[in-house]
């Protein structure tokens, strides 16, 4: 998953572009953790120290900071956004619409890549001894017609000795999922992996 970032007129706000629809009926501005309760994605973003505002647009997420610098905040924010969209979870809680928070809350598409993500969790990074999904090494999984699956992933460092092992393992794991006929695994280092991209479970495992 490629997430672009672009500056705004306010240096305390940074826009993230995940390359997909974020909130079709946006914008939705959330100014504190209480307001963020309508969105599982916003809740996780507000849990990052220094994040004080989140705004969902049709195809963008704008994050406001207070203190700190983007060099340290960006990896954590990118990790949260990637993991959220890879999980197939909705941007808004399903019951948010009943409370009048936002009409888009009831529109949740089924997650066609969930079985593939589950299979990829069986691929263990030999250096860290943990699965590549929760380590944050899988950036994007796209499932297309005809049983085609395209995976974009990375390694913890460029030139990692386990690169071929991990690529092959990801391809084989996804290929074993029923209905998958062809798997294309693409390696990227944009953005570069950082420990902040790991899932909460992985961070707990490593004592972070």
Please tell me whether residues 11 and 84 are part of one structural domain: yes
Residue 77 sits at φ, ψ, to 5 deg, of -65, -45
DSSP state of 4: E
Please tell me whether residues 19 and 102 are part of one structural domain: yes
Mean pLDDT of 95-101: 43
Please tell me whether residues 66 and 127 are part of one structural domain: no
Mean pLDDT of 18-23: 87
Please tell me whether residues 99 and 126 are part of one structural domain: no
Please tell me whether residues 197 and 119 are part of one structural domain: yes
Please tell me whether residues 123 and 100 are part of one structural domain: no
Please tell me whether residues 79 and 24 are part of one structural domain: yes
pLDDT at residue 102 is higher than 50: no
Mean pLDDT of 164-192: 91
- Which of 98, 75, 110 shows the shortest CA–CA distance to 190? 75
Instruction: Write out pLDDT tens, residues 43-97.
Output: 999 998 889 999 998 899 999 998 778 888 889 899 999 888 888 788 887 555 3
Please tell me whether residues 8 and 95 are part of one structural domain: yes
Q: Look at residue 87 in the predicted model and tell me its pLDDT.
A: 80
* Number of structural domains in the chain: 2
Give the pLDDT band of residue 30 (cuts 50, 70, 90).
Answer: confident
Please tell me whether residues 181 and 147 are part of one structural domain: yes
Q: Look at residue 128 in the predicted model and tell me its pLDDT.
A: 93
- Which of 197, 178, 166 shows the shortest CA–CA distance to 82? 197
For the chain, give the percent of residues with pLDDT over 70.
Answer: 90
Q: Is 100 left (phi over 0), alpha (psi -120 to 50) or beta?
A: left
Range of the domain at 51: 4-106
Please tell me whether residues 153 and 191 are part of one structural domain: yes
pLDDT at residue 106 is higher than 60: no
Flag the least confident range among 53-57, 96-100, 190-194: 96-100
Question: Which of 63, 85, 106 is at the close of a domain?
Answer: 106
Please tell me whether residues 101 and 143 are part of one structural domain: no
Flag the least confident range among 41-50, 108-117, 149-158, 197-206: 108-117
Gap between the Cα atoms of 193 and 197, Å rounded? 7
Domain at 191, CATH number: 3.30.300.130
Question: Which of 106, 122, 152 is at the close of a domain?
Answer: 106
Question: Which of 56, 78, 106 is at the close of a domain?
Answer: 106
Please tell me whether residues 43 and 84 are part of one structural domain: yes
Domain at 97, CATH number: 3.30.1370.70
- Which of 153, 123, 125, 121 shows the shortest CA–CA distance to 134? 121
């Amino acid at each position: 998953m490629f997430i672009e970032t672009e500056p705004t007129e306010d240096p305390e706000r940074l826009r993230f572009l995940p390359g997909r629809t974020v909130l079709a009926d946006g914008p939705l501005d959330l100014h504190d953790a209480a307001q963020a309760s309508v969105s599982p994605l916003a809740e996780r973003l507000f849990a990052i120290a220094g994040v004080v505002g989140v705004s969902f647009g049709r195809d963008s997420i704008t994050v406001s900071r207070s203190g700190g610098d983007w060099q340290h905040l960006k990896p954590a924010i990118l990790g949260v956004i990637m993991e959220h969209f890879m999980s197939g979870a909705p941007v808004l809680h399903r019951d948010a619409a009943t409370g009048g928070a936002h009409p888009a809350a009831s529109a949740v598409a089924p997650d066609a890549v969930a079985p593939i993500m589950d299979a990829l969790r069986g691929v263990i990074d030999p250096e860290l001894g943990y699965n590549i999904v929760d380590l944050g090494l899988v950036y994007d999984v796209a499932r297309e017609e005809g049983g085609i699956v395209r995976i974009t992933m990375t390694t913890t460092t460029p030139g990692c000795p386990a690169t071929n092992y991990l690529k092959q393992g990801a391809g084989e794991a996804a290929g074993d999922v029923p209905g998958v006929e062809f798997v294309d695994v693409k390696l990227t280092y944009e953005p570069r992996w950082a420990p902040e991209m790991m899932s909460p479970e992985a961070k707990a495992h490593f004592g972070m």
